[in-house]
Amino acid sequence: MEEPILIVDDEEKIRTMLRGIFQDEGFRTLEADSGEEVLDLVAKWHPRLVLLDIWMPHVDGIALLEQLQARDPELPVIVISGHGTIETAVRATQLGAVDFLEKPFSLDTLLRSVQRALGKEPRHATAAQIAAAADADIPAGHAPRKIPARTIRQSVVVHGRGLHSGVRTGIILHPLSPGSGIVFGPLSSDMMIPATVEYVQSTGYATSLYREGAGVKTVEHLLSALHGYGITNLLIKMQGEVPILDGSALEFCQLLDSAGSVEQDEEVEALSVDRTYQVGDHSAGKFLRIEPSEQLEIDYCLEYPEPVGRQEFHYVQRDADSYRETIAPARTFGFLKEIEALEEMGLANGGRLNNCLVIGEHGILNPPLRFEDELVRHKILDLLGDLYLLGQPIRGKVTAYRTGHGDNIALLRAIREEQAPHAPAPKTASALQ
List, by residue number, the catalytic residues.
Answer: 405
Q: Is 321 helix (H, G, I), strand (E, B) or coil?
A: helix
User: For the sheet containing 77-81, what is the strand order?
Assistant: 29-32, 5-8, 49-53, 77-81, 99-102
d(CA 18, CA 11): 11
Dihedral, CA of residue 345, residue 346, residue 347 and residue 349, to nearest 10 = 140
Smallest Cα–Cα separation from 100: which of 87, 373, 140? 87
Amino acid at 257: D
Q: Is 237 helix (H, G, I), strand (E, B) or coil?
A: strand
Q: Which residues, at least 6 apart from 336, have a Cβ–Cβ distance to it below 8 Å?
A: 358, 359, 360, 361, 365
Smallest Cα–Cα separation from 308: which of 341, 357, 348, 342? 357
* Residue 103 CA: distances (Å) to CA of 167, 238, 346, 428: 22, 15, 30, 15
Beta-strand relationship, 261-269 and 146-152: antiparallel
